[in-house]
Structure 1
Amino acid sequence: MFAISLGDGAELGLLEPWQAEEYFAHIERGRAFIGQYIGLADAARDLGSARAFLQSYADKQAADGGRIFGIRIDGTLVGGVLFPRFDAATGCCEVGCWLEPAGVGRGLITRAAGILIDWAVDVRGMHRVEWHAATGNTPSTNVAKRLGMVREGVLRQNHRHHGTRHDTEVWSVLAPEWKAHREH
């Protein structure tokens, strides 16, 4: 229910606190892979913290400050996309993602992120959509490229993850650019 087809048996749908057991099982399956560049897996160390993480996004959604969605293949949660930051007043938001190995190489993130950007631009009137990725996370920067985003720069060693400082690439697409990109 409330799912959008991504093709090939995959769907994009809601991810809510009541789904914490499913979410935690997914994180456990992909913990090492998911945690390479982002702290998402660290935020779900047990069922309680997984539920709290999903609740934080339910609270963000209620405040119109963020949202989280799951990607399922044949009913199994394999990743997701989210708005970690959503600011309707400024017309700026950020889209992010994660994926376990079972979902890699299918174009799921590109299609799901495109759906989020469509909604942000067309329905909510967002003017600027950002994508942040660790410099070494080539699959993530490749998604930004496929989405027609422009690499704006690098925040040098701004992100500490597992004891190592990482650079973060900032990519973005503006509403007129997104609309032109969709037409191609």
Structure 2
Amino acid sequence: MFCLRVDDEIQLKLLEIRDAEKMYALTDHSRTYLREWLPWVDATTSVADTLAFIESTLRQFASNQGFQAGVLYHGELVGAIGCHGVNWANRSASIGYWLSHDKQGKGIMTRACRAVTDTLFKEYGLHRVEIRAAVENRKSRAIPERIGFVQEGICRDVEWVDNRYVDHVVYVMLEREWITSESTT
């Protein structure tokens, strides 16, 4: 099983079947906030929906296509982070994440994202890692900016979310940039 200790406060662990109820409750708890930025929120209406998602992520992990992990803060499930699949031909992947609205502002997702990026380069041997965030989602955009991702551009009207199309800012980190930045910190 995938488990990564980020620091004394944060741990990332592969989502498991037994996490379905907690994950659904967390999604439901943050539904109003998450709905503004994530297209899957309104389709997640029951524990069964969350269970189906977790089952699909376990298949993703088993087929070496990346992972989806629960973010634990002091042992409490507070969000999720993971890959949207791995493109092995190009050695690339994109990272997605979300955090309960009441746990934001503590650096949790920044630290988690840094750890996942490091894992993708050092353990998976990837060349390119991408993060996309809605242009208006300043909190989400701040994460790749904080850890040194380069803004490559904007995809216009790329995602239908909360009854509107949103533009995404595309951020990228290349392996050589990550290794260089890690050696200077």
The verdict on how the C-alpha distance between 1:2 and 1:90 changes in structure 2, with shifts beyond 3 A counting, is closer
> Which runs of 5 or more structure 1 residues have no equivalent in the other structure?
none
Q: Which amino acid aligns with 1:72?
A: L
Q: Which amino acid aligns with 1:123?
A: E
> 1:12 & 1:86 partners in 2: Cα distance?
19
* Residue in 2 that maps onto 1:89: 89
> 2:146 & 2:58 partners in 1: Cα distance?
29
1:58 alignment partner, SS class: helix
Alignment of 1:102-113 (within 5 A): 102-113=102-113
Alignment of 1:141-152 (within 5 A): 141-152=141-152
2:37 alignment partner, SS class: coil
Q: Which amino acid aligns with 2:123?
A: V
- Stretch of structure 1 that moved more, 154-163 or 4-13: 4-13
The verdict on how the C-alpha distance between 1:23 and 1:168 changes in structure 2, with shifts beyond 3 A counting, is same
> Is residue 60 of structure 2 the alignment partner of residue 76 of structure 1?
no
Q: What RMSD over aligned residues (CA atoms) do the two structures have, in Å?
A: 1.7
* Residue in 1 that maps onto 2:169: 169
* Residue in 1 that maps onto 2:56: 56
Decide whether the 8 Å contact of 2:6 with 2:115 is kept in 1: no
Q: Which amino acid aligns with 1:171?
A: Y
| TM-score, normalised with respect to structure 2 | 0.92
Deviations 1:114-154 (A, max 9, x none): 11111111111100000010100111111011121111111
Q: Which amino acid aligns with 1:34?
A: L
The verdict on how the C-alpha distance between 1:138 and 1:165 changes in structure 2, with shifts beyond 3 A counting, is same
| TM-score, normalised with respect to structure 1 | 0.92
1:37 alignment partner, SS class: coil
Decide whether the 8 Å contact of 2:10 with 2:112 is kept in 1: no
* Residue in 1 that maps onto 2:21: 21
> 1:6 & 1:115 partners in 2: Cα distance?
6
Task: Give 1:71 shift.
Answer: 1.1
Q: Which amino acid aligns with 2:66?
A: G
1:64 alignment partner, SS class: coil
The verdict on how the C-alpha distance between 1:31 and 1:142 changes in structure 2, with shifts beyond 3 A counting, is same
Q: Which amino acid aligns with 1:105?
A: G
Task: Give 1:18 shift.
Answer: 2.6
Deviations 1:60-107 (A, max 9, x none): 112222310111223221112110121223200001110112220111
Q: Percent identity?
A: 29
Decide whether the 8 Å contact of 1:158 with 1:165 is kept in 2: yes
The verdict on how the C-alpha distance between 1:42 and 1:13 changes in structure 2, with shifts beyond 3 A counting, is same
